[in-house]
Amino acid sequence: MEKKILVEVSARHCHLSKEHLDILFGQGYELTVKKELSQPGQFAANEKIKVIGPKRELANVSILGPTRKESQVEISLTDARSIGIDAPIRESGDIKDSAGCTIVGPKGQVELKEGVIVAKRHIHITPEDAMNYGLKDKEVVSVKIDTDQRSTILGDVVIRVRNDFSSAMHIDTDEGNAAGVSGVQYGIIL
C-alpha cells in the first residue's frame, strides 16, 4: 500500500505564552483568528510580531494560536543565519538551551533567553492512519516528494502520533523551496 501524506510548508511563525501575549499586545489581549490551520484547534492569527537578532530583524512574523505554556519562535535556517542566530534543529516544544531573540509587539517587547528553533521536519498523524501505515510515534522515516522539476527525498522525518492530529507532513520554507512545493502537494512515506 502506498503511504500517501499531505505535505504542508510551514513558514516562520511564533507561538506565544499568555504572559508574553499580554506584554506584547496589552493585558488581557486575545488573539483573533485570521485562518484555521489543518491541525484541529490551531489557527494563524491576524496579529504579527517582529523578531530581532544580532544582525537584523524579521518583520511581520505570524503568530499561531492558541497561546501555549512557553513562547517559541520557529524560523528556517536561512532566516536564522540572516538575523545572526544559531538556532538548533529541534522538534516543536524542545526549546531548552535553544537560541534567544527579542520579540516586539505594538505594546512592548520580550527578551527570549531561549525558544528560537528550526523545526525538525515531521509528520502529524492520527493513531488510525499510523496503524494503517505501520508507523509508530517518534519513528524516523523518509518521504519522497515528486514535483515537476525538483523531486526529492527528505530523510530524518519524525512521526508524531496523537488523537488530536490531522495527518499531514510539515516542512519549512527552505525545504519546500528546495523540493519545488507549490499548492496542494502529497508525498510518499518510504
Residue-range domains of the chain with CATH: 12-119 (no CATH), 121-189 (2.40.40)
Residue-averaged pLDDT of the chain: 97
Q: Determine the pLDDT at residue 66.
A: 98
Say if residue 96's pLDDT is above 80: yes
User: Do residues 55 and 82 lie in contact, with contact meaning Cβ atoms separated by under 8 Å?
Assistant: yes
Q: Determine the pLDDT at residue 55.
A: 98
Q: 1 falls in which pLDDT band (50, 70, 90)?
A: confident
Q: Determine the pLDDT at residue 9.
A: 97
40-78: per-residue pLDDT in tens? 999 999 999 999 999 999 999 999 999 999 999 999 999
Average pLDDT on 104-109 reads 98
Q: What is the pTM of this model?
A: 0.93
Say if residue 20's pLDDT is above 80: yes
108-149: per-residue pLDDT in tens? 999 999 999 999 999 999 999 999 999 999 999 999 999 988
Q: Tell me the CA distances in angstroms from 91 to 20, 62, 97, 135, one per residue in order.
A: 21, 19, 13, 18
Q: Determine the pLDDT at residue 73.
A: 98
Residue 151 backbone dihedrals phi, psi, to 5 degrees: -55, 145
Buried b (16+ CB within 10 A) or exposed e, 123-145: bbbeeebbeebebeeeeebebeb
